[in-house]
Amino acid sequence: MTVHKVGVVGAGLMGSGIAQTCAQSGYETIVREINQPLLDKGIERIHGAWDTMANKRKLTPEQVTENHARLRGTLDLEDFADCDLVIEAVIENMEEKIRLFTALDRLLKPGAFILSNTSSLNVTQMGAVTKRADKICGLHFFNPAPVMRLVEIVQTISTAPQTVEEIKQFAISLGKTPVLAKDTAGFIVNFLLIPYLIAAIRMLENGMASRDDIDTAMKLGCGYPMGPFTLLDYVGLDTTLWAAEAIYEEFKDPLYAPPPLLRRMVLSGMTGRKSGRGFYDY
């Protein structure tokens, strides 16, 4: 199936980044949010990114105009009826995802793909509530989605090999490098990244080193673009907690048990950059 029109559900940090990526790669793109202020915020973020790219001469004014024309916001899921491919990037809550997958399965044409950007939840369970489990897989982007070159394609036991092949081609058309992972919690990146982030929080809890020194150590000692606390704030402490919980739930490996400080910061609304407070203040 040739993909012409892409739907993105959710215009938060990841959803807006994914919609931006699709629209600037030439796809007619529609992005849906649950209320007008959230939709406006997401669309403004995308328009702002294109303005920045134009100021840096990475886009011509004509390209910015074309990108704007390809991107549309909506509050109504029914507007997705003629999409060839839908990527969901809503909150990491299985009940929400199942409600959404059921609704999308009912309204999309039979050949359309439904992909989840989940970083930790079971994609098999999402596919199982539809009549098209063969057309469902994970397509996991990394923050910031327009910049990070990787996507993980997550193949469930029901995903058809043909779907994997077509989604691989779609990912390449977005300028991404796809890697293939089985549907086990954490896939590839978070299975390796979460224990590292958790270990940094434990070091801080135990007073082994300061926040700034841990960040500096990993930046300058290992050449990472960000230290673990800067990255935690960037990814979101809530997202990190959900990912840790999901992997811990699946494997019961203490390496993934969320540290008390992480849970308490999330409970206090300190979710990182997006809330203005995390390990750093913004």
Residues at the interface with ligand CAA (CB under 6 A): 17, 49, 52-53, 56, 119, 142-144, 146-148, 190, 193, 225-226, 231, 235, 239, 243
Say if residues 102 and 108 touch (Cβ distance below 8 Å): no
Query: Which residue carries 């699946």 as its tokens?
Result: 250
Residue with Cβ nearer ligand CAA (23 or 49) = 49
Residue with Cβ nearer ligand CAA (119 or 122) = 119
d(CA 123, CA 96) in angstroms, rounded, equals: 13
Residue with Cβ nearer ligand CAA (112 or 231) = 231
Say if residues 198 and 206 touch (Cβ distance below 8 Å): no
Rounded to a whole number of angstroms, the minimum distance from the CB of residue 40 to ligand CAA is: 17
Considering 116, 119, 120, 158, which one is annotated as catalytic?
119
Query: Which residue carries 């060839």 as its tokens?
Result: 84
Considering 88, 120, 190, 245, which one is annotated as catalytic?
190
Rounded to a whole number of angstroms, the minimum distance from the CB of residue 229 to ligand CAA is: 13
- Give the residue among 150, 149, 158 at the shortest CA–CA distance from 122: 158
d(CA 122, CA 242) in angstroms, rounded, equals: 12
Residue with Cβ nearer ligand CAA (97 or 132) = 97
Residue with Cβ nearer ligand CAA (77 or 194) = 194
Rounded to a whole number of angstroms, the minimum distance from the CB of residue 53 to ligand CAA is: 5
Q: Is 119 among the catalytic positions?
A: yes
109 CB burial (10 A radius; 0-12, 13-18, 19+): exposed
d(CA 31, CA 64) in angstroms, rounded, equals: 18
Query: Which residue carries 């849906």 as its tokens?
Result: 32
Strand residues in 21-160 grouped as ranges (E): 28-32, 71-74, 85-88, 113-116, 136-141, 150-155
Q: Is 152 among the catalytic positions?
A: yes
Considering 33, 117, 140, 158, which one is annotated as catalytic?
140
Rounded to a whole number of angstroms, the minimum distance from the CB of residue 223 to ligand CAA is: 11
Rounded to a whole number of angstroms, the minimum distance from the CB of residue 238 to ligand CAA is: 11
Residue with Cβ nearer ligand CAA (113 or 242) = 242
Burial 148-167 (b: 16+ CB within 10 A, else e): eeebbbbbbebbeeebbebb
Rounded-to-10 torsion of CA 106, 28, 159, 133: 0
Considering 152, 158, 166, 245, which one is annotated as catalytic?
152
Rounded to a whole number of angstroms, the minimum distance from the CB of residue 46 to ligand CAA is: 8
Q: Is 47 among the catalytic positions?
A: no
Q: Is 190 among the catalytic positions?
A: yes
What is the DSSP code (8-state) at residue 203? H
Catalytic (active-site) positions: 119, 140, 152, 190
